Amino acid sequence: MNNINSETIWSPFDGSPVGLMPIADENDVEAATVASVEAFGVMKALPRFVRADILDRAAQIIKRRRAEFASTIASEAGKPLFDARGEVSRAIFNLTNAAAEARRFVGEEVPLDVDGGVHEYQVTGTDGHRIDIEKAQLQELKASRQRVGIARRFPIGPILAIAPFNFPLNLVLHKVAPAIAVGNSVVLKPAPQTPLTSALLLQVFEEAGLPQGALQVVHCSVALAEKMVRDDRFAMVTFTGSAKVGWHIKSISGRKKVALELGGNGAVIVCDDADVDLAVARCARGGLVYAGQYCIGVQRILVARQIYDVFCEKLIAKVRSFNVGDPLVEGVDVGPVINEDAAKRISAWTEEALANGAKLLCGGTRNGTLLQPTLLSNTTPSMKVECEEVFGPVMTVNPFDNFDDALNRAASGNYGLQGGLFTNNLRRAFQSIEEWDVGGLIVNDVPIFRIDNMPFGGWKQSGLGREGTRYAMEEMSAIKHLVLNYS
């Protein structure tokens, strides 16, 4: 970047400076776009083993710099060290898995000899006469077998990737790694709160031998980001963030492909045959990991009335045991939310619920950006703490008498990212996946369970398209169909 202007990135915990990030102006964004178009010409020509080796080398470099990445994530995102290290581990797997997929990602042979009537209509003999299947000689029938259809996948072009703050390394790589694996170039706009991790990642790929211009990071204004979204030189925009922003991006993106991984208000159903201790432990972790700033975090818990009192007693104790404080201190479980505006909004939603009849089971207090983990009961589906995405350490817990009613409540609303179901009843599991419109249903665990090769994405307002390495590669490629007649 030619622009020497920089912005200080501040810690969400104590407001201390974390580092400086260059600010991209209009000229920088234009230069990045031009360079990405040029780099795509190189990337699409590279054999798969070259792309795979780059990704493997990048994984090894991050493994070597693991502590540096974890510290940067913890500092600029306010993520506790345990979770920051976990994110780095996931990122390393993301890269090695993308390398493996790059080596084996293929199209398919399309059978062309599947219907006799179509064969009669589409094919003629060598002298131009029509084929009559009933009277055809073996040689004429054999000719139908000698047409081969090959559906090959090709990279589609420069990708604009817009990333969120909550996983500044791994969710970035959910976009960058499959794009590189399939042979595209990428312009990455990181979240304004957490660009320093992306700057480190750019260093990693440069060291790994990625062709010049194939990955560029632009820390720019919303106006310039929108200009890129509208720019037809990008073949695709892939975005992770809020539903409001995501659907706005789709509305201004023109003809390009769009992938949206948006919000959720993750529900968990705990049936009377569940392992209560397991459900309590996983719900507490699922709702409080990274202070609840997780699109698939646990937000709504519905518990069979027979076990509700026991479940609540154990959940309250578990939630109260979580350590809240400085994310850079070992042993802290819950750090700050990303800024004070977010903390104020979360507190306001909690107070609004309480004013409308909700009951506070624990938590509910705030100190700057630190929120005490909060449990609410007696909430209703119309309250913001249920129907919207809280994106903070707040969970609701309510009893149910009938499984169908619980399933209907869990499935209600505008979101459908992932859900959790604790039961040993196989019929309930299959009923749930049929009736609950979520991108992923996790049985005997919570919605935060995600291995990075899984298909991942939402229904309804929760998104469009799928991430997960191979599934993202499919989104970032297109089919050309080759038909060969060798008869």
Cα–Cα distance measured from residue 457 to residue 480, given in angstroms and rounded to the nearest whole number: 26
Contacts of 309 (CB under 8 A, 6+ apart): none
Q: Would the CA dihedral through 448, 97, 80, 204 be positive or negative?
A: negative
Pairing of strands 300-304, 236-240: unpaired
**Cα–chain center distance at 373:** 25
Query: Which residues are marked as active site?
Result: 261, 295
**SS3 for 259?**
strand
List the alpha helices (DSSP H) in 330-479: 340-355, 384-387, 403-411, 426-435, 469-475
Q: Which residue has the tokens 């920051």?
A: 84
Using an 8 Å Cβ cutoff, are 236 and 155 in contact? no
Question: How many whole angstroms separate alpha carbon 51 and alpha carbon 98?
Answer: 9
Residues 104, 61, 170, 82: what is their CA dihedral angle, to the nearest 10 degrees? 130
Q: List CB contacts of 225: < 8 A, sequence separation 6 or more.
A: 162, 189
Nearest to 308 by CA among 370, 227, 377, 365: 377
